[in-house]
C-alpha cells in the first residue's frame, strides 16, 4: 500500500515537463503567427479601404466639375479669349494629359461671398499626383497663378478624351480646344493600386 502511495506522489518527470513546455511553445508560436497574419491582413484591408475612399473622393470631384461644365470663356493674361474648354497633352504643364474649363454650381449662399458661382478649374498629373487647379475669380489679373491641390496620389497616367458628336462613326479625340463644349468627356486614370479606371461624362449642356 505504501509503495502505491509513493508512486502516486512522484508527480511529473523532467522529460514530461520538457515535452509539455515544447508543446505549449509550439502552440504559442502558431498562435502568434496566426495573430500576426490577422493583424497584417487587417492593416492591409484598412490601407486599401483608405485608398479606395481617396479614389472615390477624387472621382466625385471630377464628376461634379465636368458635369457642370459651362460654355464660358475667360481672359488669358488679360486678353479676350473665346475658348471654353481645352484639353490634351502639354496644356497645363503636367506630365500627361490635362483639361481646363469653367464649371457652375460653386456654392455661394445668398451671394454673400465676393465671387461668382462659376469657377475656372483644371486637372493635370504632376509627380504621380493628380492635381486640381482652381481660382476664386474667373478673369484674373496678369501673372496670377492658380491654386493647386493634390487630390489623388499613386497615379501613373492621366488621359482625357473628347467626343464631339453623337454620330455612330464619331471617334474619341485625344485633344480639344473649342469655343463650344464637346458632347462628352472621358477621363482615364491609371493608379498603382487599382489599375486603369475610365469614366465617361455626357455634358449637361448637350
State pLDDT tens for residues 52-90. 899 999 999 999 999 999 999 887 766 778 899 999 987
Residue 94: is it exposed, middle or buried by C-beta count within 10 angstroms (0-12/13-18/19+)?
Answer: buried
Q: How much is the average pLDDT of 112-129? A: 86
- Asked whether the beta carbons of 155 and 140 are under 8 A apart, the reply is no
Which structural domain range is residue 42 located in?
Answer: 1-206
- Asked whether the beta carbons of 152 and 54 are under 8 A apart, the reply is yes
CA 11, CA 151: separation in Å to the nearest integer? 69
Determine the pLDDT at residue 1: 47
Reported in sequence order, the residue ranges of the chain that DSSP labels E, i.e. its strands, are: 69-70, 85-89, 97-103, 119-126, 129-134, 147-153, 155-163, 176-178, 184-191, 195-202
CA 72, CA 84: separation in Å to the nearest integer? 5
Decide the pairing of beta strands 97-103 and 85-89. antiparallel
C-alpha cell at 168: 455612330
Q: How many domains does the chain have?
A: 1
CATH number, domain at 160?
3.10.610.10
- Asked whether the beta carbons of 135 and 101 are under 8 A apart, the reply is no
CA 97, CA 186: separation in Å to the nearest integer? 12
State pLDDT tens for residues 15-52. 777 777 888 788 878 777 777 777 766 677 788 788 88
The pLDDT > 70 percentage for the chain reads 84
- Asked whether the beta carbons of 191 and 175 are under 8 A apart, the reply is no
pTM: 0.75
Q: What does the DSSP 8-state code read for residue 84? A: S
The sign one gets for the Cα dihedral 16, 18, 22, 27 is positive
Amino acid at each position: 500500500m505504501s509503495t502505491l502511495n509513493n508512486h502516486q506522489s512522484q508527480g511529473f518527470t523532467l522529460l514530461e515537463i520538457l515535452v509539455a513546455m515544447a508543446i505549449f511553445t509550439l502552440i504559442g508560436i502558431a498562435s502568434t503567427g496566426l495573430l500576426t497574419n490577422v493583424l497584417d491582413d487587417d492593416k492591409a484591408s484598412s490601407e486599401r479601404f483608405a485608398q479606395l475612399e481617396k479614389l472615390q473622393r477624387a472621382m466625385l470631384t471630377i464628376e461634379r466639375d465636368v458635369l457642370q461644365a459651362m460654355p464660358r470663356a475667360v481672359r488669358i493674361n488679360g486678353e479676350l479669349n473665346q475658348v471654353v474648354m481645352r484639353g490634351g497633352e502639354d496644356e497645363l504643364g503636367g506630365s500627361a494629359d490635362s483639361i481646363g474649363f469653367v464649371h457652375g454650381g460653386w456654392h455661394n449662399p445668398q451671394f454673400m461671398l465676393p465671387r461668382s458661382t462659376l469657377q475656372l478649374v483644371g486637372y493635370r498629373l504632376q509627380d504621380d499626383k493628380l492635381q486640381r487647379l482652381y481660382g476664386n475669380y474667373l478673369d484674373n489679373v496678369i501673372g496670377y497663378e492658380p491654386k493647386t491641390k493634390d487630390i489623388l496620389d499613386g497615379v501613373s497616367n492621366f488621359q482625357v478624351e473628347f467626343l464631339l458628336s453623337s454620330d455612330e462613326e464619331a471617334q474619341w479625340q485625344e485633344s480639344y480646344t473649342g469655343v463650344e463644349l464637346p458632347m462628352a468627356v472621358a477621363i482615364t486614370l491609371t493608379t498603382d493600386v487599382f489599375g486603369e479606371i475610365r469614366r465617361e461624362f455626357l455634358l449637361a449642356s448637350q
